[in-house]
Structure 1
Amino acid sequence: MPTIVDRSEQRYVGYRATVAFDGMADVAHRIAAIIGELAERGLEPACAPFLRYLVLGTDMRTVTVEAGVPVVDPLDLGDEYFNAVLPAGKYAQATHHGSPEGLFAATADLLAWGEKEGVRWDRAVEPDGEHWAARLEIYRTHPQIEPDPNNWDTDLCFRLAD
């Protein structure tokens, strides 16, 4: 059952791309690359990495998405990467337990719950698609510690309009 939670702003290092949905794995693999860059500097992520969906294309074939890894302080990882901050605020949160293949259905369930509850999402519908302030998949399970994707936990956190 989804809940409403307050989230503080969160600094992160990210990588952004606009891809077809079948290109999502390439963006997701950037999480490991960022964590590797942090490790080379003797740093660890401040908390769980995530994907941040920024624009869902009107054609439902493309998505602008960020791979993000929370950090304590901004750092320069090169031209491919940037520093940013997730906005503070109220978020609807639901946890999906299981394989990433179930995230599409879990997302649909969260959106349906929001509609039933009269939730107003922090998003705008533009000619090119839905623009979200913060629509997150937060990966709570480290795949090297728990290799079975059926045991993974992923939090869906979607920011509410003020």
Structure 2
Amino acid sequence: MAPTIETRPEQPYVSIRTQATLAEWGRVNALIGPVYGWLTERDITPAGPLFYRYHSVAGDVIDVEVGVPVPEPVIGDDTVAAGSKPAGQYAVLLHKGHPDRIRETFAALDEWSEASGVEFDVTDGVWAGRFESYLSDPAEVPDLADWETEVAYRVRH
């Protein structure tokens, strides 16, 4: 399946940024609770699903944010940072299945980029916008094999 190209507006969010290897990924997943807890403490309703924003990969270390969209910009603190998904055009592909298999979707996007000539917005190994958004609510879809995850890469103009 080929990705769709979508034009998206800027979207404010809050997040916690870290660096980890895949072997340390439990530490990344452990940031989900603190992000949602921060929002709950401030009575801020999420404006979209949980996402991971990938900035870069150096060796086996991934620079990643665990974030949640918010309805309007907020001020972060020492724990949670305020940021925004950049506006622009994104190549979007839906991953269906266990998140451990998401590399298959990453590979499909890379193959599509090569075949189509559409370049992703990456400069010196740093992504301008690479997002993995978890569309399935674990309370409603407990079987990870049934999850849907949106992968969106900002494309270069």
The range that moved more, 26-35 or 46-55, is 26-35
Segments of 5+ residues of structure 2 without an aligned counterpart are none
TM-score by length of 1: 0.90
The answer to whether residue 142 in structure 2 is matched with residue 142 in structure 1 is: no
Number of residue-to-residue matches in the alignment: 156
Detail structure 1 runs of 4+ shifted over 3 Å in the superposition: 74-78
Match for 1:154: what amino acid? T
Structure 1 segment 53-68 matched on structure 2, within 5 A = 53-57=54-58, 59=59, 61-68=60-67
Superposed CA RMSD in Å reads: 1.4
CA distance in structure 1 between the aligned counterparts of 2:24 and 2:131, rounded to whole angstroms:
17
CA distance in structure 1 between the aligned counterparts of 2:73 and 2:23, rounded to whole angstroms:
31
CA distance in structure 2 between the aligned counterparts of 1:89 and 1:77, rounded to whole angstroms:
24
CA distance in structure 2 between the aligned counterparts of 1:114 and 1:32, rounded to whole angstroms:
34
- The residue number in structure 2 matching 1:14 is 15
The answer to whether residue 127 in structure 2 is matched with residue 132 in structure 1 is: yes
- The residue number in structure 2 matching 1:104 is 103
Match for 1:124: what amino acid? T
- The residue number in structure 2 matching 1:28 is 29
Match for 2:9: what amino acid? S
Structure 1 segment 24-103 matched on structure 2, within 5 A = 24-57=25-58, 59=59, 61-76=60-75, 78-103=77-102
Q: Tell whether the 8 Å contact from 1:6 to 1:90 is kept in structure 2 after alignment.
A: yes
CA distance in structure 2 between the aligned counterparts of 1:145 and 1:40, rounded to whole angstroms:
24
Q: Note the C-alpha offset of 1:81.
A: 1.3
- The residue number in structure 2 matching 1:3 is 4
Query: 1:125-161: per-residue Cα shift (whole Å, max 9, x none)?
Result: 3xxxx21011110110111221111111000000001
Query: 1:52-110: per-residue Cα shift (whole Å, max 9, x none)?
Result: 000111x2x11101111111233355302110111000000000011101101111111
Segments of 5+ residues of structure 1 without an aligned counterpart are none
Match for 2:112: what amino acid? W
CA distance in structure 2 between the aligned counterparts of 1:144 and 1:40, rounded to whole angstroms:
21
CA distance in structure 2 between the aligned counterparts of 1:34 and 1:91, rounded to whole angstroms:
25
CA distance in structure 2 between the aligned counterparts of 1:147 and 1:41, rounded to whole angstroms:
28
Percent of pairs identical after alignment?
A: 35
